[in-house]
């Protein structure tokens, strides 16, 4: 999760100003580093650790920073590194569980360089993009959009149409993905791997910026989107040969309390058979808001058992950020 302060990308991978119609260096100056410290008793420590580092991008001149939420979830202190070499404190404003976006406010007065929000839905396969970490051209990758497709994450997460870029940025968390007009079209979330001719090929999975637009006002006002939260079970699952397998259980989460175990095969949610993560999540979320009872058919030790999990609101398990 940590990002070294002395790394840089090969010159051949870096974007060249003459290849873009906008002021590349000005755009890159809006990208900041994000470092956070999380209390040791925080819920997410077991998966994300107590010290986290990545990037974010200023989306308003008043110091509003958009990043990937796992960098700031439950953070008690946040430090932002700017293109002018200064480090400023930040405050976690919001975390959108559904998209994965996080918002941080700079705790310092001033007017900062910022990127306008683009239109990720208008991007096409093959479009040239810049995937940028904090630190200018030496920490940015000249890349292209290689796929736009559904993505299901093991942590009860689903994007209907994620953006995938290549070549991959090695420090992807919170990286700005800049489109052809010099605007922000997404935020880096993950690195994924795919075999090609017997060799692994890496891509960055990017959260599309359009997912922010409908919830931004609510995130700024309330710290989360309006409406009831989705039901959350607290299990980590993976797909194995068209089956959903429980790979881990969140400590103190609903699934653990209900008796779900690592290695269980999830055959069905309610009366609907599931063969992949996306199917499972959609069936769970269709049963009602957080607090709904989720009936599961589980295959364990050669037999099928039925377990009802009383779901929860994931946010209720998280340590709240300190007030400023």
Is the residue at 43 inside a domain? yes
218: left (phi over 0), alpha (psi -120 to 50) or beta: alpha
- Statement to judge: residues 195 and 302 lie in one domain: no
pLDDT at 120: 98
Residue ending a domain, among 199, 227, 255, is 227
- Statement to judge: residues 178 and 292 lie in one domain: no
- Statement to judge: residues 124 and 241 lie in one domain: no
Is the residue at 323 inside a domain? no
285: left (phi over 0), alpha (psi -120 to 50) or beta: alpha
The residue whose two tokens read 């997912």 is 211
253 vs 235: CA distance, rounded Å: 8
- Walk along the chain (324 residues) and give the pLDDT tens digit of each residue: 444 456 889 999 999 999 999 999 999 999 999 999 999 999 999 899 999 999 999 999 999 999 999 999 999 999 999 999 999 999 999 999 999 999 999 998 889 999 999 999 999 999 999 999 999 999 999 999 999 999 999 999 999 999 999 999 999 999 999 999 999 999 999 999 876 667 788 999 999 999 999 999 999 999 999 999 999 999 999 999 989 999 999 988 999 999 999 999 999 999 999 999 999 999 999 999 999 999 999 999 999 999 999 999 999 999 876 765
The residue whose two tokens read 């949610």 is 269
- Statement to judge: residues 241 and 177 lie in one domain: no
Of 73, 48, 2, the residue nearest 250 (C-alpha): 48
Which range of residues forms the domain containing residue 256? 235-317
- Statement to judge: residues 173 and 39 lie in one domain: yes
- Statement to judge: residues 80 and 137 lie in one domain: yes
- Statement to judge: residues 6 and 53 lie in one domain: yes
56 vs 64: CA distance, rounded Å: 10
Of 60, 280, 22, 271, the residue nearest 153 (C-alpha): 280
The residue whose two tokens read 């957080």 is 290
Answer whether 34's CB lies under 8 Å from 55's CB. Answer: yes
Report which secondary-structure segment, H or E, holds 53.
strand 51-60
The CATH number given to whatever domain includes residue 287 is 2.30.42.10
- Statement to judge: residues 211 and 284 lie in one domain: no
**Contacts of 53 by beta carbon, 8 Å cutoff, 6+ apart:** 1, 2, 3, 33, 34, 35, 36, 71, 173
Is the residue at 322 inside a domain? no
- Statement to judge: residues 247 and 191 lie in one domain: no
Residue ending a domain, among 197, 227, 257, is 227
- Statement to judge: residues 167 and 275 lie in one domain: no
Answer whether 105's CB lies under 8 Å from 65's CB. Answer: yes
The CATH number given to whatever domain includes residue 168 is 2.40.10.120
| Domain total of the chain | 2
Q: Where are the alpha helices (DSSP H) in 117-227?
A: 210-213, 216-222
Is the residue at 287 inside a domain? yes
- Statement to judge: residues 219 and 278 lie in one domain: no
Q: Name the 3-class secondary structure at 300.
A: strand
pLDDT at 323: 65
Q: What is the CA radius of gyration of the chain?
A: 20
pLDDT at 3: 45
133 vs 8: CA distance, rounded Å: 10
Residue ending a domain, among 183, 199, 227, is 227
- Statement to judge: residues 89 and 148 lie in one domain: yes
Rounded to the nearest 10°, the torsion over CA 178, 181, 183, 186 is -40
Answer whether 154's CB lies under 8 Å from 178's CB. Answer: no
């Amino acid at each position: 999760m940590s990002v070294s302060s002395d790394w840089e990308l090969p010159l051949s991978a870096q974007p060249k100003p003459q290849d873009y119609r906008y002021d590349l260096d000005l755009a890159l100056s809006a990208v900041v580093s994000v470092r956070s410290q999380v209390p040791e008793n925080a819920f997410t420590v077991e998966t994300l650790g107590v010290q986290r580092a990545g990037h974010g991008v200023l989306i308003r001149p008043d110091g509003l920073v958009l990043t990937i939420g796992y960098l700031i979830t439950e953070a008690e202190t946040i430090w932002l590194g700017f293109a002018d070499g200064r480090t400023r404190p930040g405050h976690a404003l919001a975390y959108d569980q559904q998209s994965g976006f996080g918002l941080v406010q700079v705790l310092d007065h001033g007017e900062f360089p910022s990127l306008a929000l683009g239109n990720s839905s208008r991007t096409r396969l093959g479009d040239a993009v810049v995937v940028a970490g904090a630190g200018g051209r030496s920490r940015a990758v000249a890349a292209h959009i290689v796929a736009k497709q559904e993505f299901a994450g093991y942590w009860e997460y689903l994007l209907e149409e994620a953006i995938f870029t290549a070549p991959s940025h090695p420090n992807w968390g919170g990286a700005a993905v800049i489109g052809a007009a010099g605007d922000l079209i997404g935020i880096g979330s993950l690195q994924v791997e795919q075999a090609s001719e017997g060799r692994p090929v890496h891509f960055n999975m990017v959260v599309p910026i359009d997912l922010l637009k409908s919830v931004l006002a609510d995130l700024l006002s309330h710290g989360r989107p309006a409406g009831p939260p989705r039901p959350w079970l607290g299990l980590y699952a993976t797909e194995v040969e068209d089956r959903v397998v429980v790979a881990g259980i969140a400590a103190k989460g609903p699934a653990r309390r209900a008796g779900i175990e690592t290695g269980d095969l999830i055959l069905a949610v309610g009366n609907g058979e599931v063969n992949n993560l996306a199917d499972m999540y959609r069936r769970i979320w269709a049963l009602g808001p957080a607090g709904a009872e989720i009936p599961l058919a589980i295959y364990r030790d050669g037999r099928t058992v039925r377990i009802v999990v009383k779901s929860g609101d994931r946010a209720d398990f998280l340590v709240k950020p300190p007030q400023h």
